[in-house]
Structure 1
């Protein structure tokens, strides 16, 4: 499997069963690409089934309204990765009031096809949800190929469950996240039609069929993608959620989730915003770091979630020292 560094090189070259959608849309007679001919079987792998009526098998439908957060953190993570969720709960996910602003976090899961014979993964997730109240699980298969579905389900959930939030961030489980620095940036950021992160511009389309990021010319004829935010971690104003969902009815869903969000933004005629200055959203941890590195950045890609434990200790030490 390609590393996170490969993704960066790609860039610079990346308790209820509830329906979250809009009934009027599902009743629409002008469903996306109805006029297109059936795709060749060789192309099916590059597209995903969205829009579609995905349902939440585990939901917290009222928590976001009750907390009325300024910022919602949504962390997509495989169902079986309990360890990563616990590490986040003990590090940057344990911050609920930052600079006077309420921050909420939720883990977003699909369904697992792993069953180790000890009660089943979904039963374990249910027990974890009852314990922590931070699990959202939808009824699509949780695979790399379905990351676009996972992302769009996130937008659906946010648009219907968090009407009073100002911002949300999609952030992967193996990222260091400095929530205080993020909130500080957002307090000065636009409140409407805003998306930022590691913004890729003029990123070339990969044609190598051996790459998991391949899109053949017959699927996507352009040589470069429109601007998009690297899916490792990006932040957006909540008014974008319904706009992106609306665009999804007109833009065929490809399996590269961050690219697809960028395609929806282009369809809407909306520009992504670069961070206020360089060095906030970092691709990789530098070999030589200055003393206050971790308090100066918003995100950094880690090798894995285990590394977050040590990094978080360093971050807390820097913060206590006055960095």
Structure 2
């Protein structure tokens, strides 16, 4: 009788141990499961959001009459025409089962206009270039004629003099020329907030750039397509009615000339 009770007790303890071990394993596996993913903050997702970009060059018909088994997507600099041609003639020679597309960004200044024209001609010839342009965001956005290599003038007689005591750094952060710029409505309040922490210097446009640096906002150069001409001309530009009709500002006109130019521009620029 006693032996029977002992055997039953051992079985019960064994079963309890198995149940406890099973529960532990299940609990451990549940605790190690991948946590529920959370979406990226909007400012981060904007970098990969397809709606952030629009195409300048696209190839919507390359797969209209074919279904390639393998697509090569090759990121390459806009200026690397020789590299693209070498790839076309070697490993990427497209057949019925493969297709190669080159993905390029915007050419760097100052070769923008000439290089863009060459890209468009290359695209017409080979139909294998995809080029995209980032759309302007609706917030944290400022654009104009961006100055990236500004340095403080240390000559006391200079109109733009800034002393080392006032601004000890050797260069300015990127900023937009004070001749004129455009920014999103939300940025006004943010610049005002940042100004509480940025020492004032007697250069309005540079000062705004210092506030932008504190906010982590980079100004965007404004240009027109397809020739990437600056929309904010901060130099004296020879008057041409149709050229001026495509710009946001033109700088450098004295009052008498401005009055003469405006009479012609106001009555006929819509015909351009």
Class of the TM-score when normalised by the shorter of the 2 chains: 0.3 to 0.5
- In our comparison, the structure showing a higher alpha carbon Rg is 2
Which TM-score applies when normalising by structure 2? Answer: 0.46
Which TM-score applies when normalising by structure 1? Answer: 0.39
Ranked by relative contact order (alpha carbons within 8 Å, sequence separation 6 or more), the top structure is: 1
